[in-house]
Structure 1
Amino acid sequence: MFTLLVRPLMAAGFAVVVLAFASPSMAAVPAVEATPSYEDLIARLDALPSMLEADAVYDAAAARAQQARALPNPSIVYDRENVYGTGPYNGTGNAESTLSINQPLELFGQRSARIQAARSEADAAGLRREQARWQIAGRLALAYAEAEAAARRHDLAAEALSLTEQDARGVAAMVEQGREATLRGVQAQSEVEAARAALDEARALRDGAFARLSAIALLDRPVQAIGASLLDRTPALPGARSDDPLAVQVATAELDAASRLVTVERRRALPDVSAGVGMRRFRDTGDEAFTVGVELTVPLFDRNRGGIRAAYAEQRAAEARLIAQRQEAQAERLTAEAALAASSSRTRAADSGVAAAEEAYRLSRIGFEAGRISQLELRSTRAALIASRNAAVDARIARVLAEIDLARLEGRAPFGESR
């Protein structure tokens, strides 16, 4: 009589659990605060501190480029000559007063070199800002995907605990009927405790992942659920690109800025020229006359040789970085494309494995209840089912990581289009 009552209840409970296990989206979702969608978070990139820092760095470089166009300030000089001397020059009665204005001329291309160098540095800063934007977007996508994966692993751990408890109840019933040894019941209870500990660990990892997402995205309130799935999205196939990766563009701009600085340092070795015009007044006669002069520095001791050598060294370093960046970007792109293709295949294989594991567990459960399959075989198929479900989550995380790497190289947000 006990067996007749237990089997229908166990079969009904098994059907509900397997249905929830096979379709996590159908499981009951607690009423918790959900995150904004991934697109909403990407749209708020400009408000994140890292992006504000990148914007400020670019604004500083743009301001320096604007300042480089300013002309040097003139100087005003007032002189009084022939005062407090002897004879007729005693006191200030025969003093001569001169008021003049001197203006640096910046000849020999000094001003144009300074402007071009500052403009090149601003262009490089703009590309670095764009690079920072997509790096931040990748970091946000990774935090979003990790939070979603942690939530799924928590749900899987809860379902695994439910299955383990149900199997333990079945084993306990068979132990009471004398169909299984007492040792099997002890082993089943041990598996329940291990599954319960795994659930606690998964809960802690889930809470930590959502806390990191809330911190990175600057969410007003802590969240514990994902609004729209990112793991289930299929990235678009990478297409052929004619332009250089963003990292190579940054290295090229930095080389151009370093080359402009070489010109600036070479211009600094040339003489500085200033022109002056003034008015002189003779005290004894009351006459006035104009004064005109030119001032020229003589590069006798300081020819800026150290500055020129340093600029050339920085130019060589920028050239080396560009060469290395080209090779590295090409290798990274090939690696990211291969990883994306492999992770997509892995995801399809994992989904097929989940379906096979679910069917194997269903059949083993039926055989166990009929007494044709041992508890060890049931435990093995249950462990395979749990492992296959977690492997499907791991495959999706790997696909997201590959898409993040490829998006960073292409200069776009993950799962978005190039701009």
Structure 2
Amino acid sequence: MPAKSRRPRLAVGLTATALAAALSAPAWADPAPAYADLLSRLGQTPSAAEAAALIDAAEARVRQSRVRPNPTAGLELENAFGSGPFSGIDNAETTLSLSQNLELWGRRGARVSVAEAEAATVGLRSRLALIDLAGRLALSYAEAETAERRADLAQEALDLNLADARAALKLVEEGREPLLRGIQGEAESAAARAAFDEASAERDAAFARLTVLAQLPTPVTSVPATLLDEAPARAPSATDPLTVQVAEAEREAAERRIGVERIRARPDVTASVGVRRYEAEDATALTFGLSLPLPLFDRNRGNIDAAQADFRAADARVASARQDARADRLAAVARLDASASRVSAADAGVTAAEEAYRLSRIGFEAGRISQLELRATRAALISARNAALDARLARVRAEIDLARLEGRAPFGDAR
């Protein structure tokens, strides 16, 4: 194909690519609320509702554990409907009695103690669940912001590619570059267009995930507030991590269950009082009684041993949780410090890449450098900007990990 007929087609292709990029930009936007606003709405999410319901259930079990057992009413008719003098009810003895379990040996107190320990464990687990939810929300918010910025970078890369391709086409028309350079520019523009389409799809998917996780009434189409640029404010933690607190609460509940099982091995005493009616004598009398099982065969040893084994396991989990929390916190602090340094280095790299591309573009238009050199500096600029985004997202992830270990929401505090 003659070069003169090929050049107009190159120009038409570049124009079509530029028009498609312009038409693909969103004409409207429904911005997402700030992360702090979404954090304040955590109590309205299904996970928060589940946590609140579990706490209510645990508190209800504590109230129930304080309730004494109901008394037992009994009615007995003796010496009636037999033979001889006992053929009717003239010589019958009727007894109306009321029995009550005395709950000796501290049974009720031990039961309440276990229920309270279990309720404390549920409360800590619910708080940990809210912090995990806040971490997922922060990550989803940062990923949505990252995807939006990547789409913007892809749009900018496409614009730069188109501008470079037009400059190359102009040089081709002037005879200063071979036709091959124009064809390469058109191919690079098509590739940049495909990269922009992919980045736009990832952005829309990230917006959808944020909309669902944050329980927003309308789909998110932009993230105006920034979380990527917010530097985490780290403060030393004065308390044990929540994971350790949960393990300690479980150990406390396990230890109290040992007391419950030991008390169950003791006789369960029941007292009774009643009134007996003697029909033959036309008289009444009171009856008193105590009943208790004889611990001849079942002394609850199996349940006591099982409760003690459960306590040993819970104690081992506390030790393991402390070790893991200590190691995880050191690693999270190191990652956060490294990510902060990485952000600074990436920003410096972006500044250098922007200056290198600016000088390369000037040199290319003046004919002092080749298109290959311009392409290399442009690729370096795009790579540097994406590396800066990766560094910021890594910093957010490190803050999320550290915040979970410190029992707080990232970039805030869960209520």
TM-score (norm 1): 0.91
CA contact (8 A) 2:140 2:210 kept: yes
Match of 1:326 in 2: 322
Match of 1:85 in 2: 82
Match of 1:292 in 2: 288
- Counterpart among 35, 48, 53 of residue 32 in structure 2: 35
Kindly report which structure 2 residues correspond to 1:201-220, keeping only aligned pairs within 5 A, or say none: 201-220=198-217
Match of 1:104 in 2: 101
CA contact (8 A) 1:108 1:267 kept: yes
* Structure 1 residue 410: Cα displacement: 0.9
**Is 1:178 equivalent to 2:183 in the alignment?**
no
Match of 2:19 in 1: none
CA contact (8 A) 2:251 2:311 kept: yes
CA contact (8 A) 1:410 1:418 kept: no
Aligned partners of 1:276 and 1:31: how far apart in 2? 80
Give the SS at the match of 1:414. coil
Give the SS at the match of 1:219. coil
- Counterpart among 321, 327, 348 of residue 344 in structure 2: 348
Change (3 A) 1:30 1:234: farther
Tell me which amino acid in the other structure corresponds to 2:176. Answer: R
Moved more, 308-317 or 198-207: 308-317
Aligned partners of 2:125 and 2:303: how far apart in 1? 26
- Superposition RMSD in Å: 1.4
Match of 2:13 in 1: none
Aligned partners of 1:180 and 1:391: how far apart in 2? 33
Match of 1:168 in 2: 165
Match of 2:356 in 1: 360
* Structure 1 residue 29: Cα displacement: 8.4
Aligned partners of 1:31 and 1:281: how far apart in 2? 90
Q: Deviations over 1:22-72 (max 9, x none)?
A: xxxxxx985310111111100110111111111111211111111111101
Give the SS at the match of 1:285. coil
Kindly report which structure 2 residues correspond to 1:19-418, keeping only aligned pairs within 5 A, or say none: 31-236=28-233, 238-416=234-412
* Structure 1 residue 322: Cα displacement: 0.6
Give the SS at the match of 1:230. coil
Aligned partners of 1:393 and 1:241: how far apart in 2? 29
Tell me which amino acid in the other structure corresponds to 2:154. Answer: A
Tell me which amino acid in the other structure corresponds to 2:213. Answer: I
* Structure 1 residue 225: Cα displacement: 0.5
Aligned partners of 1:175 and 1:304: how far apart in 2? 95
Change (3 A) 1:322 1:264: same
In the alignment, structure 2 segments of 5+ residues that lack a partner are 1-24
* Structure 1 residue 418: Cα displacement: 8.2
Q: Deviations over 1:290-337 (max 9, x none)?
A: 000001012223222222222122111111111110011011111111
Aligned partners of 1:165 and 1:310: how far apart in 2? 74
CA contact (8 A) 2:130 2:414 kept: no
Number of equivalences:
391
* Structure 1 residue 242: Cα displacement: 2.9
CA contact (8 A) 1:245 1:329 kept: yes
Aligned partners of 1:46 and 1:416: how far apart in 2? 15
Aligned partners of 2:213 and 2:299: how far apart in 1? 51
Tell me which amino acid in the other structure corresponds to 1:333. Answer: R
Match of 1:17 in 2: none
Tell me which amino acid in the other structure corresponds to 1:148. Answer: E
Tell me which amino acid in the other structure corresponds to 1:319. Answer: D
Identity of aligned residues (%): 59
Give the SS at the match of 1:278. strand
Tell me which amino acid in the other structure corresponds to 2:56. Answer: D
Tell me which amino acid in the other structure corresponds to 1:126. Answer: G
Match of 1:14 in 2: none
Tell me which amino acid in the other structure corresponds to 1:105. Answer: L
CA contact (8 A) 1:93 1:284 kept: yes
CA contact (8 A) 1:94 1:283 kept: yes
CA contact (8 A) 2:207 2:219 kept: yes
Tell me which amino acid in the other structure corresponds to 1:325. Answer: A
Aligned partners of 1:415 and 1:204: how far apart in 2? 28
Aligned partners of 2:84 and 2:271: how far apart in 1? 35
TM-score (norm 2): 0.92
Moved more, 238-247 or 378-387: 238-247
Moved more, 305-314 or 317-326: 305-314
CA contact (8 A) 2:39 2:414 kept: no
* Structure 1 residue 207: Cα displacement: 0.6
Aligned partners of 2:45 and 2:413: how far apart in 1? 21
CA contact (8 A) 1:336 1:405 kept: yes
Aligned partners of 1:350 and 1:299: how far apart in 2? 75
Give the SS at the match of 2:351. helix
Tell me which amino acid in the other structure corresponds to 2:264. Answer: R
Give the SS at the match of 1:289. strand
Aligned partners of 1:38 and 1:339: how far apart in 2? 22
Q: Deviations over 1:359-391 (max 9, x none)?
A: 100000000011110000000000011011111
* Structure 1 residue 227: Cα displacement: 3.1
Aligned partners of 2:215 and 2:221: how far apart in 1? 15
* Structure 1 residue 409: Cα displacement: 0.9
Aligned partners of 1:181 and 1:315: how far apart in 2? 81
